[in-house]
Each structure stands twice: as structure tokens, then as C-alpha cells.
């Protein structure tokens, strides 16, 4: 069997196009331009690139972007003050605090100072709490995990009753992905660095989500025939044949696993493009809710 390749770039492009059209309609009908504020603290080059990409995408989709860059030594009070000011600014509909923050800052405190209705990353403790609770709805779903679910839906993967294995339990990917899969009635096993017999557990999976940050860790003989694989991992490996000297690979040995799986995401071109697309969608949703509030007032 050779797996269907799940084209995240194409799915993300469709979402971006829908968002772009709705942004135009909001401007035309209500004079409102959805706005995303990004907060970057320090000079982590990867974070700078992520923030730049998010701002660029805002421009491409006709949204406003407000970039704030604080020095690495910014204090907790300074960062929280900025986030609270943005929470009060009516032109800002979504606030994104780029993680990780420098070590001296309390991440939870900063994230908790984002207004719930502008928490387009979905990382506010209340939003994560609601995601975890039956019958509650978060204001926003975290972008990468939401992208994972949209990709599973794009190939008609049946989540209800499926054995889903999530590799990784981070606050931003593994844990919220597991919660979303539970919400879709999958039977979910979450694995981490202390899990015993990882291949044995992975072999039970009908749906496998890998988010560990270990290049090509999941091998072809770890997976069950027909499994649907979503590879969130983005890892740089040396490759002297490329101009840059490196290339990006996932947490899954794509060439091996695609021979066994029924569907699989590539890296790059799988989950990566979905993250920004879902962020833009969340920002649009925040702006649409604001329009509804104004209409009711």
C-alpha cells in the first residue's frame, strides 16, 4: 500500500482564501479590519521568523498586523502591561504572544493577561481548561492541534471509536491535540519521554499524531497497515546536497511509513501551513464576534 499524501499546503490555501473573502466582506459591510497583534520578547531567530510569517500572512489576507518587539530582558510587568494594553485596544482583535518566552518570564502569567476574547492562540488557561471539560467550548482552539483535526477531516479519517495515539504531551501541541481527539470520540493514548514500549503502543493506532521533535523516530515497522499519520514534527537535519546544508524532516520516517499507512502528511507541506491558516481564521472569528457585539449594543 502506498499512502495518500495529505496536502496541507492545499488545505491551508483553501482556508486562507475563505478568510480573505470574509475579511473583504467585513471591511465592505462594516468598515472593520481584523487586526492581529504579535508580541515577541527577545531575539530568538526562529521566533522572529514565525512572527514575520504571521505578519506577512495578515497583509496577504487584508488584515491589519501590529508588531511589538520587547528586549530579551523585559520584565514580567512590562510584558503583561503591553498585553493588557492590547487587550483594551479596539483595533486589535487577536493577540499572539510568541512562545517560548525568555526563561525569567512566567509564561502562564503572560498568557493569562491576554483578554479571553482575543486569545486567538487558544493558550489562555481558561481556554485550555474549557477544551479539557466535557460540554464546554473554548473561545478559540489552539492553531496547530486544530490544523491536525482539519487535516484528518480532509481525508475523511474516522475519529469516532478509533484508537488514536498522540506522541508528545506539550501544552501547545500534544496535550490539546489529545483533548480534541477525545472530543471527537476517539480512544486516545498519549505518549511521552517516559512511555515504555513506544513501538508496541504506536502499532495499535488507527490514527497517529507525532509531535516529539525527534527526526524520523517513527519507523515503518512501528505502524499498523492503514493507519492515518499526521506528522507535526519539524526537525532540521544536515544535508550537504542542499544549498543551505540542511533539510527539514518530520518525526516520522516518511519514506518507510508511507508504504504502510493509508494517508500521511509530508514535512514540509503538511501541518506547518495549517498553523498560520488556523491563526488567521481565529483572528477573523474574533473580529466577527466584535461586529456582532457592536450590532447588539
Residues that bind ligand NDP (CB under 6 A): 144, 167-170, 172-174, 191-195, 198, 211-214, 232-235, 271-272, 275
The smaller minimum CB distance to ligand NDP, of residues 91 and 106, is found at 106
Which one of 98, 206, 258, 281 is the catalytic residue?
98
The smaller minimum CB distance to ligand NDP, of residues 32 and 172, is found at 172
> Over the range 201-229, which residues count as b (16 or more CB within 10 Å of their CB) and which as e?
bbeebbbbbbbbbebbbbeeebbeeebbb
Closest CA to 94 of 296, 292, 281: 281
Chain centroid, CA 133 distance in Å: 20
The angle at the Cα of 45, spanning 42 to 48, to the nearest 5 degrees, equals 70
For CA atoms 284, 289, 290, 294, give the dihedral sign: positive
Could you tell me the three cell numbers for 175? 496535550
d(CA 124, CA 241): 43
Q: Minimum distance from CB of 130 to ligand NDP (Å)?
A: 21
Find the residue with minimal CB distance to ligand NDP.
170
5 within 8 A of 257, measured Cβ to Cβ: no
Residue 105's contacts (CB-CB under 8 Å, 6 or more residues apart) are: 41, 74, 76, 79
Q: Minimum distance from CB of 7 to ligand NDP (Å)?
A: 14
Closest CA to 79 of 52, 114, 117, 53: 114
The smaller minimum CB distance to ligand NDP, of residues 64 and 233, is found at 233
The angle at the Cα of 100, spanning 149 to 79, to the nearest 5 degrees, equals 115
The smaller minimum CB distance to ligand NDP, of residues 122 and 168, is found at 168
Residue showing cell 497583534: 37
Q: Is 98 one of the catalytic residues?
A: yes
Residue showing cell 495578515: 58
The smaller minimum CB distance to ligand NDP, of residues 26 and 36, is found at 36
d(CA 191, CA 159): 18
Q: Minimum distance from CB of 143 to ligand NDP (Å)?
A: 8
Q: Minimum distance from CB of 25 to ligand NDP (Å)?
A: 28
d(CA 187, CA 202): 13
Q: Minimum distance from CB of 194 to ligand NDP (Å)?
A: 6
The smaller minimum CB distance to ligand NDP, of residues 109 and 269, is found at 269
Q: Minimum distance from CB of 148 to ligand NDP (Å)?
A: 9
Q: Is 121 one of the catalytic residues?
A: yes
Could you tell me the three cell numbers for 268? 514540509
Which one of 54, 258, 281, 288 is the catalytic residue?
54
Which one of 119, 121, 231, 251 is the catalytic residue?
121
List the catalytic residues. 54, 98, 121
Amino acid at each position: 500500500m502506498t499512502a495518500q499524501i495529505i496536502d496541507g499546503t492545499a488545505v491551508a490555501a483553501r482556508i486562507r482564501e475563505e478568510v480573505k473573502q470574509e475579511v473583504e466582506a467585513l471591511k465592505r459591510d462594516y468598515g472593520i479590519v481584523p487586526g492581529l497583534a504579535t508580541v515577541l520578547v527577545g531575539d530568538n531567530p526562529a521566533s522572529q521568523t514565525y512572527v514575520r510569517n504571521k505578519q506577512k500572512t495578515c497583509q496577504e489576507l487584508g488584515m491589519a498586523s501590529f508588531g511589538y518587539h520587547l528586549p530579551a530582558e523585559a520584565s514580567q510587568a512590562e510584558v503583561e502591561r503591553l498585553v493588557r494594553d492590547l487587550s483594551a485596544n479596539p483595533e486589535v482583535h487577536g493577540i499572539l504572544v510568541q512562545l517560548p518566552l525568555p526563561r525569567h518570564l512566567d509564561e502562564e502569567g503572560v498568557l493569562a493577561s491576554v483578554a479571553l476574547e482575543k486569545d486567538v492562540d487558544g493558550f489562555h488557561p481558561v481556554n485550555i481548561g474549557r477544551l479539557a471539560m466535557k460540554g464546554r467550548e473554548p473561545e478559540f482552539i489552539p492553531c496547530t492541534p486544530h490544523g491536525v483535526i482539519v487535516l484528518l477531516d480532509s481525508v475523511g479519517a474516522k475519529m469516532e471509536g478509533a484508537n488514536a495515539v498522540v506522541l508528545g504531551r506539550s501544552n501547545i501541541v500534544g496535550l490539546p491535540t489529545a483533548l480534541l481527539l477525545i472530543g471527537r470520540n476517539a480512544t486516545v493514548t498519549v505518549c511521552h519521554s517516559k512511555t515504555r514500549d513506544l513501538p508496541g503502543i504506536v502499532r495499535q493506532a488507527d490514527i497517529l499524531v507525532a509531535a516529539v521533535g525527534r527526526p524520523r523516530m517513527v519507523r515503518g515497522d512501528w505502524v499498523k497497515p492503514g493507519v492515518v499519520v499526521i506528522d507535526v514534527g519539524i526537525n532540521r537535519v544536515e544535508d550537504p546536497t542542499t544549498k543551505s546544508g540542511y533539510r527539514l524532516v518530520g518525526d516520522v520516517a516518511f519514506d518507510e511509513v508511507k508504504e504502510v499507512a493509508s494517508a500521511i502528511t509530508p514535512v514540509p507541506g503538511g501541518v506547518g501551513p495549517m498553523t498560520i491558516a488556523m491563526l488567521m481564521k481565529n483572528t477573523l472569528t474574533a473580529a466577527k464576534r466584535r461586529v456582532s457585539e457592536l450590532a447588539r449594543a
